[in-house]
Amino acid sequence: MSAQQALQSPTEYFSHYGKQHTFHHQILDYIKHIDDKSDMVSMKKFGETYQGRPLNLIFVSSVENIRNLEDIRITNIYNSGVNTIKPANINEKAIVWCSFGVHGNEAGTTETVPNFIYQLISGKDVRTNEWLKNTIVIIDPSLNPDGYDRYVHYLKSVSGVNENPTLSHRERMEPWPSGRYNHYMFDMNRDWAWQTQKESKERIMIYNQWLPHIHADFHEMGANANYYFAPAAEPYHKFMSSFQKDFQVEIGKNHASYFDKNGWLYWTREVFDLFYPSYGDTYPTYSGAIGMTYEQAGNSSSGRTIQLENGDTLTIQEKIEHNTVVALSTVEISSKNADKIISNFKNYYSESIKNPNGKYKTYVLKSSPSMQRLTELFDRSGIQYGFATTNSKSTAYHYQSKSSKSFDVQAGDMIIQASQPRSVLLQVLMEEEPTLTDSLTYDITSWALPFAYGIDCYAYTAAFKTDTSKTKPTVSKSDPESTNLFSIQVPWNDLNSVKVLADLHKKDYKVRMSIKESSYQGKVIPKGTLMVNRGDNKRKKDFEKDINIILSKHNINDYVQHTSGFSDKGGDLGGNYFQLIKAPKVLTFSGRGISANSCGEIWYYFDELLDYQINIVEWDQFDRADLSAFNTIILPDGYYKINDERFKTLVEWTNKGGRLIVIEGALRNFSGKEGLTFETFATEDEKKAAEEEKLKQELKDRFNDFEGLERRSISKGTGGAIIKNVVDDSHPLGYGLGKSYYSLKTSSSTYVTQKGMWNVIHIPSKYDSYGFLGSGIKKKLENAVSFAVQAYGNGQAIYMVDNPLFRSFWDKGLLLFSNAVYLNGVLPENY
């Protein structure tokens, strides 16, 4: 018996195949079986999930191509211009990358992989060998194995012997959190550009080592929705090439021909657009591929089988069949057009260097503490940059003041030229105001990195040249003056400062924060600076050593050592200007009603970013938590209701000195309440005026046409836009943020500036905004509050109208959130 004969099909290998889902490790077992039996397959591990499941790629092609994979990869990277050294063996092949199951509970996608590979290599379809001669297929069988197994474990645990397709059955009612999310409950189909999650980081690294020509991202949607494939809906980003637009149509027509033959229903162009850069279709698109989303009807609401509106049932077997046809058709059309695809790919990248898209040809980013994380993001995506080596005077458009300004280019500032292979991605990520061809988009409409990272940015419409080096010039720190060290001053201006504080607290160090400016021996201590005094930490034998280790671990170079506590100006180190920070003991809530994303962002912030303890209790079990053990409680975004009894408990807990942080949707519980209140309107008159306005609108709406419904509902709010807020930086919630904060507004709720509390971050009456804001919300945002603090008894409530942890990519938001977590301890009583 030859090796090929011993190859088993998925149905021979799994008795359940097509009837029940398969655990992730079993899917990999089958792929290993194929890998052992066939020289047309090669599996490569590239990473691991948070829960320790392997992340793999499977390469499928002709035996010869599999042998020459590395030549093919290097040739392609050379063609992109990312690598300029000509390879010894030029070997051009079409590269098709298929991603399955970024949303783990869309399990029919991953379930398709065994059949897809088997069909490609078994020779059952004689055409596949021909296709694989000039085409490499790269398969990611499961982008989110933790979410996939979470769902499959659940489904199996409630599956009886008999299938039950009726709608009201727990097989189709997945518990919280669903398998859509990864371990930290992030939606990784919103994380492609930011790569906050381990899985995304590791995947993007290898993705950019290949830069495929075609990328298909397999999903599932509602069970009655039939099948969706390319071409995508408008809006398209204006930087898409005409080939990228046109070839989607050819791909779609090829799929349609098979669906037509089988009588299967499908649709294109209606919903899924190509705009927000962090999806599995757009990120590849901005990386030179034809990036596409495919959606099979189903998802976790379909269980093993489900009754459809048309009286039919949908099964796992059907999902596998549809996905396999679409996947094979993708390979076929790519193979048939391999030459065209490769030449357009080359053209895309050479144009990126010769004629970059976008208004600006050079960016200067002023040196900033958050720059380290930005360089890591650029490195993973292959975006090239340098650092100025000399100082010079210049004039350019300044993002933050929206005008042309003269400024000093200083050694260490980041210089980015638009003319480079990854120009399109760079320009998309840097754009102040991405152009929408249509306001009906799925997601946030603005994301400019200079605002997200809070970095001053200057942009040139003609290339600006200056000497640069690849690495940032390092500031050498003079040796510690170890004689009689009195105190170490650490700036509070970045997530790294917060990490230092968290590490010090973990080692039980006492740390203070300055609440007013002072100066010592000519050195200024601004408000909001961390001070670690020897006098507060007398028990610590290795005071200097411990602190130096922590400072260097988090790359803090600009600390200052003091040998005396006596000030020139302001307060002495032992006085009231310096308040002890209470180490946070944090509680937050999970469970149905709470946004899994928001809960996950809080969990990730403490557990992963700060490496600091966080306690999470199911909202249903609120009464079992001993609140007195905590000084910080965070109410995540969500749609949950806080009943009167729990509300009273939280008010009493705050009164005793707790710090209550309330995020976005949770704010709805605070209107018209006793003690802790947060109101939509400032006065009864305002409320009445708004109600009258609403009534007027309703009367007008009586003559609306039916067709315009979707468009009208969009005009009421925002899918996500950037708003420039004013910061009261004398309040601890504003420390380290400067005079303005660019808030990413993702909800359409607005709240007026509040009475009887600190409206620390608010929108002025004339404000700058970026991205789409509906006409119905623009006016309401004037003088609205975004972040406020209510002092209450010995504690306080911090209200967050916008979620600063949104997808964890808004870097400056992480510092703002940290202010909320740590500020209670720095406020003198009755502040």
Q: Name the site residues for Zn ion (rule: CB under 5 A).
A: 103, 106, 219
Tell me which residue of 263, 241, 266, 264 sits closest to 252, measured CA to CA: 266
Q: Which residues share a beta bridge with 221? A: 297
Q: Which is nearer to Zn ion, 659 or 807 (CB)?
A: 807
Q: Which is nearer to Zn ion, 103 or 780 (CB)?
A: 103
Q: Which is nearer to Zn ion, 442 or 647 (CB)?
A: 442
Q: Which is nearer to Zn ion, 171 or 187 (CB)?
A: 187
Distance CA 340, CA 344 (A): 6
Residue spans of beta strands (DSSP E) within 399-467: 403-409, 414-417, 457-460
Tokens of 111: 């379930």
Least distance between Zn ion and beta carbon 219 (Å): 3
Tokens of 47: 């990473």
Least distance between Zn ion and beta carbon 186 (Å): 13
Q: Which is nearer to Zn ion, 270 or 626 (CB)?
A: 270
**C-alpha separations of 268 from 216, 272, 278, 361, 425 in Å:** 14, 9, 21, 36, 25
Least distance between Zn ion and beta carbon 104 (Å): 9
Least distance between Zn ion and beta carbon 279 (Å): 10
Distance CA 147, CA 183 (A): 7
Helix axes 338-354, 242-262, angle to 10 degrees: 150
434 and 422 Cβ atoms separated by less than 8 Å: no
Rg of the Cα trace of the chain?
28
Q: Which is nearer to Zn ion, 92 or 191 (CB)?
A: 191
Q: Which is nearer to Zn ion, 106 or 149 (CB)?
A: 106
427 and 357 Cβ atoms separated by less than 8 Å: yes
φ and ψ of 530, to 5 deg: -80, 135
Least distance between Zn ion and beta carbon 614 (Å): 28
Q: Which is nearer to Zn ion, 221 or 418 (CB)?
A: 221
365 and 427 Cβ atoms separated by less than 8 Å: no
Least distance between Zn ion and beta carbon 536 (Å): 51
Burial string for 272-301 (b: 16+ CB within 10 Å, else e) reads bbbbbbbbbbbbbbbbbbbbbbbbbbbbbb
The residue number whose beta carbon is nearest to Zn ion equals 219
CB atoms within 10 A of CB 53: 20
Instruction: Count the helix, strand and coil residues of the chain and give each as a percent rounded to the nearest 5.
Output: 35, 20, 45
Tell me which residue of 586, 588, 591, 666 sits closest to 630, measured CA to CA: 586
Q: Which is nearer to Zn ion, 28 or 221 (CB)?
A: 221
Least distance between Zn ion and beta carbon 291 (Å): 15
Helix axes 316-336, 108-121, angle to 10 degrees: 50
Least distance between Zn ion and beta carbon 160 (Å): 27
Distance CA 287, CA 210 (A): 11
Least distance between Zn ion and beta carbon 217 (Å): 8
**C-alpha separations of 775 from 583, 594, 705, 715 in Å:** 44, 30, 19, 6
**Helix (H) and strand (E) counts in the chain:** 23, 36
Least distance between Zn ion and beta carbon 182 (Å): 13
CB atoms within 10 A of CB 205: 16
DSSP state of 609: I
Least distance between Zn ion and beta carbon 57 (Å): 20
Least distance between Zn ion and beta carbon 180 (Å): 7
Q: Which is nearer to Zn ion, 123 or 222 (CB)?
A: 222
Angle at the Cα of 578 from the Cα atoms of 572 and 581, rounded to 5 degrees: 155
φ and ψ of 208, to 5 deg: -75, -10
φ and ψ of 523, to 5 deg: -100, 130
Q: Which is nearer to Zn ion, 277 or 298 (CB)?
A: 298
Least distance between Zn ion and beta carbon 141 (Å): 16
Q: Which is nearer to Zn ion, 53 or 219 (CB)?
A: 219
757 and 790 Cβ atoms separated by less than 8 Å: yes
Q: Which is nearer to Zn ion, 190 or 361 (CB)?
A: 190
Is the Cα torsion angle 489, 494, 500, 501 positive or negative in sign? positive
φ and ψ of 398, to 5 deg: -105, 120
Q: Which is nearer to Zn ion, 188 or 338 (CB)?
A: 188
